[in-house]
Each structure stands twice: as C-alpha cells, then as structure tokens.
Amino acid sequence: TATVRTMSAASLTKNVSAGLLRQGGAVSRFQGFPVCKRQLFSAVKRQSPSTPGSAIVRAAISAETPSAVPQRVVPDTLPKVYVYDHCPFCVRVRVALGYKNVKHQLVFMANDDVHTPTGLIGKKLAPILECPDDGTVMNESLDIVQFFDKNEKYGPTDAIAPMSERTDIKAWMKSTQSLLRLLHRPRYMKAPLPEFQQQDSLDYFVSGHQLPPFEKAAWKEELDMATKWEKYEEAMARTPELLPELNQKLKELDGLIHCEHYCTEGIGFSYDDVDLWARLRSLTLVKGADFGPKTRAYLDNLSKRCDVPLYDCMAM
C-alpha cells in the first residue's frame, strides 16, 4: 500500500499541475500508481472541500485505476484449455486467465475435430478446461472463469468483479448481432486461424453457421454447401455497404465504455469486461472499423494486460 501524504484538494490540484503526477500523455503516476489525469481531476471535483486530500487520492486510485498485475502463477502441471481462436466464449476464459496471470496451456482444436471434445465432455463444445493434476474437466466459459477466480491455488480470489446489471451494453450487443455475423463469419474463413487450417474445418464451420437472414434450421436443411459458400462470399462483398452501419454502432459503443481498463464505472475489471472484450476482439478483423478512442484504448490495453492478441495485423 502506498503512503500518500495528506493535502487539500486545492493543493493536490496545484501539485498535479506542477508535475507531481506526470508520465506524459494521458497517463500519469502518483506514488507508483498509474492514474488517468482526467479521471483524477474528476474525482477531486466530486469531493467536498472538507474531504482530506489523502482520501481524495485513495478514492481516485480505487475507483479509476486497474489493479496491479498479480504475481505470476505457474502450476506444477499446467491446466489445459481447449479452444477455438475465433470463439468469444473461449476468449472469455483466456481473458480471465491472462488477467489473473495464470500460466496455462492452450490447445487449439480443429473446427471439425469432434473426437477430442466428445472424449472429454461427451459432446462437441468449447471451451473445455482439463486439469491433469486433479482430474477436473469442465465446460461452460463463465463456470471455468469462476473456477479459477475462486480457487486460491490460482492466485488472489475474487479478482474479477461480478457482472453488473447494465442493460445498455446488452442492448448494444443484441442490436448488432446480425450485422456482426455478416462481418465476422466470412472473415474467419479467410484468416489464418489455427482451427481453420484445412478445408474440412472450413466446410464444417460454414455448414453449421448461418448468415442473416437465414435461421439455423433453414440454413442446415435447405441450402447445399455450394450455396452456403456463395452466401459467405456475398456477405464479404457487402463490406462497403455494412461499414457505415458498423461505424455508427461503434460510435454509440464508445459512450458506453468507461475507460481503457474496464467498461463499467465504479466496479473495476469485471465479468462485464470478460464478456464484452471477448466479443469485440473479432471486430479487429474488419478493415475500416472505426473504433472510438475509448474503445480502441480498451481493446489495446486489455489485449496486453490479458495476453490475448487482437487481429489488426490480419484485418481485411
């Protein structure tokens, strides 16, 4: 815990201006804590004049900065996480493990590999957690996240705050579902992702993943493979038509993200971020996606913090 000397709000502001807090750009440091200057000033303004300066700093730090990166956890036998790289549910687990700094083994399954997941959990699903040391095998992404966050073996518990009751982000996700399927799915088929390294894996995905306006049942039963592939190519060709709609939705999203460290104000990194960031990652495959400044910083910061790469280098 840092020791911060007591000062008045006015004195704190003066010292900030004088350079007591400085790191260049938008991010500064006070006694070793990274602080967003704008957010610190906002915290100062919210306090009453009688509030001790040290309390102001503590409030700013606790409310506006990320938690310190925890000590690296390296189990004697690494837990295995079976995933598809493109899958947002798989990315949830990767984000959580990265945030908690737990070393683990990623196993990228081919998309048409039915044998591996069925052998582990009796059906073809991902992600799957396997802990060879104690025999734990489980699926369901948020259950896996909770398993690691509640177990002292994997570092400090409850490092990830519970999901909030926000409805605005859920509404945004729902409003973009069809649009994102038209943009994401054709690009998955063209990107060099590990689960799609052979034609059988590509065909398996296209066979089972419909594009709007088709419903899943109609897609599976009424279209042959050649027609499905044609629909994927048609969707890719619609990119110039779809980009303006996407960029308008991204503009709306930027107003919903609190800061680069987490999306929901007042609770820090939470299950909100585990879910939202995992879904936004695929949008970095879309060349021309115009991310707002907060969204871009959020994507980049958590990519580094959670050790999950984005797709910018292969955007198309």
Distance CA 298, CA 254 (A): 10
Tell me which of 15-19, 59-63, 132-136 is least confident. 15-19
Tell me if 1 is assigned to some domain. no
Residue 28 pLDDT exceeds 90: no
Same-domain check for residues 195 and 122: no
Structure-token pair, residue 220: 């599976």
Tell me if 241 is assigned to some domain. yes
Mean pLDDT for all residues in the chain: 84
Tell me if 218 is assigned to some domain. yes
Contact 64, 33 (CB under 8 A): no
Residue 30 pLDDT exceeds 50: no
Q: 3-state SS string over 257-307?
A: CCCCCCCCCCCCCEHHHHHHHHHHHHHHHCCCCCCCHHHHHHHHHHHHHHC
pLDDT grade for 67, boundaries at 50, 70 and 90: confident
Range list of β-strands (E), 161-297 = none
Residues in the chain: 316
pLDDT grade for 303, boundaries at 50, 70 and 90: very high
Same-domain check for residues 143 and 236: no
Residue 39 pLDDT exceeds 90: no
Same-domain check for residues 188 and 310: yes
Half-sphere exposure at residue 70, Cβ-oriented, CA atoms within 13 angstroms: 20
Same-domain check for residues 46 and 102: no
Same-domain check for residues 17 and 135: no
Residue 22 pLDDT exceeds 80: no
CATH number at residue 274: 1.20.1050.10
Instruction: Give the pTM.
Output: 0.79
- pLDDT tens, position by position, 184-242: 999 999 999 999 999 999 999 999 999 999 999 999 999 999 999 999 999 999 999 99
Domain containing residue 202 = 168-314
Last residue of a domain, one of 122, 154, 186: 154
Distance CA 54, CA 93 (A): 37
Tally of domains in the chain: 3
Structure-token pair, residue 198: 């052979």
CATH number at residue 150: 3.40.30.10
For residue 82, the surrounding DSSP H or E stretch is: strand 80-83
Same-domain check for residues 26 and 96: no
Tell me if 298 is assigned to some domain. yes
> What is the Cα 286 distance to its own chain's centre?
17
Query: CB atoms < 10 A from the CB of 45, how many?
Result: 10
Q: Tell me which amino acid residue 183 is.
A: L
Same-domain check for residues 185 and 147: no
Same-domain check for residues 279 and 174: yes
Tell me if 187 is assigned to some domain. yes
User: What angle is formed at CA 270 by the lines to CA 162 and CA 284, rounded to 5 degrees?
Assistant: 140
Tell me which of 43-47, 70-74, 106-110, 188-192 is least confident. 43-47
Last residue of a domain, one of 107, 122, 154: 154
Same-domain check for residues 104 and 215: no
Same-domain check for residues 233 and 287: yes
Tell me if 2 is assigned to some domain. no
Same-domain check for residues 179 and 291: yes
Same-domain check for residues 239 and 303: yes
Query: What is the b/e burial string over 300-314, where b = at least 16 CB atoms within 10 angstroms of the residue's CB?
Result: ebbbebbebebbeee
Tell me if 14 is assigned to some domain. yes
For residue 272, give the nearest of 134, 82, 20, 95 by alpha carbon.
95
